[in-house]
Amino acid sequence: MEIKDRVLVVEDDKRISNFFRTVLEANHYDVIMAQTGAEAYSMVTSQCPDVVLLDLGLPDMDGMKILKSVREWSNMPVIVVSARTHERDKVEALDLGADDYITKPFGTSELLARIRTAIRHTRSGLVGQNGNPTGTFVSGGLTIDYDKHRVFVDGVDAGLTQNEYKIVSLLGKYAGKVMTYDFIIKEIWGPNMKNDNRILRVNMANIRRKIEKNPAHPQYIFTEVGVGYRIVEPD
């Protein structure tokens, strides 16, 4: 018997929720639906979905409240699917712990790819007991050796500084996900560091100069303008 991944769709627009159901069931997902925040709370705890697709504009509460609540006790992947396109909303959702943020309208292929990525991240095992990655991350010519604390490009040590390595290692830990500027700054320099992106931009410029063939057109670390950075997924 095939065990299907379960997707909880939290969406109050019936046309959109029916679209989700049709697409997901056609791709062999088990789909459960919630139209309100209250229903979503109940299903998250009782149905144990493998991933949540969360609309922010619900009739009884803002989806951000649901996201914040889920993150207080679970690492369950949550993908925000919203018509809100402002950078501020994306940053807030990602800072609250959203695994991804898709703006409406979106393509079916993109949606399915984001779901696969979110589920895969929760099942990847490159994390030690202290929460830090172990082993190696490999994507094309880029290798992050978490045990040696070194980064290689085409087999050659990139010569990163300690902070540069910490940034790349952090992005590698969450490969495929957008890490906000504030999150990276707090993780690398601590919670008392002012949210000043300049020091992060300087470090990223140095990293790209060392690991990218053409820093102006990166193939490993990408900028999500106004939001943060994302590293490619491993091979």
Residue 38 within any structural domain of the chain: yes
Q: Domain check: are 107 and 25 in the same one?
A: yes
User: Following CA atoms 174, 176, 181, 183 in sequence, which dihedral angle do they give, to the nearest 10 degrees?
Assistant: -20
The residue out of 68, 97, 123 marking a domain boundary is: 123
**One domain, residues 169 and 117:** no
How much is the average pLDDT of 177-198? 82
Evaluate the omega torsion of the peptide bond into residue 105 and state whether it is cis, within 30 degrees of 0.
yes
pLDDT in tens, 76-121: 899 999 888 888 999 999 999 999 999 888 889 999 999 998 888 7
Summarize the confidence of residues 195-223 as an average pLDDT: 93
Number of domain units in the chain: 2
User: Does the model's pTM come out above 0.75?
Assistant: no
CA distance 115 to 27: 11
Residues 100 and 144 in one domain: no
Could you tell me if 40 and 100 lie in one domain? yes
Residue range 157-187, pLDDT digits in tens: 999 988 899 899 999 988 888 899 988 988 8
Question: Do residues 64 and 94 both lie within one domain?
Answer: yes
Per the structure, the complete domain to which residue 164 belongs is given by 136-231
Residue 8: phi and psi, rounded to 5, are: -95, 120
Same domain, 32 and 87: yes
Residues 20 and 119 in one domain: yes
Q: Are residues 59 and 153 in the same domain?
A: no
Residue 109 sits at φ, ψ, to 5 deg, of -60, -40
DSSP codes of every residue in 142-170: EEEETTTTEEEETTEE----HHHHHHHHH
Of the residues 123, 155, 173, the one at which a domain ends: 123
- Is 142 part of any domain? yes
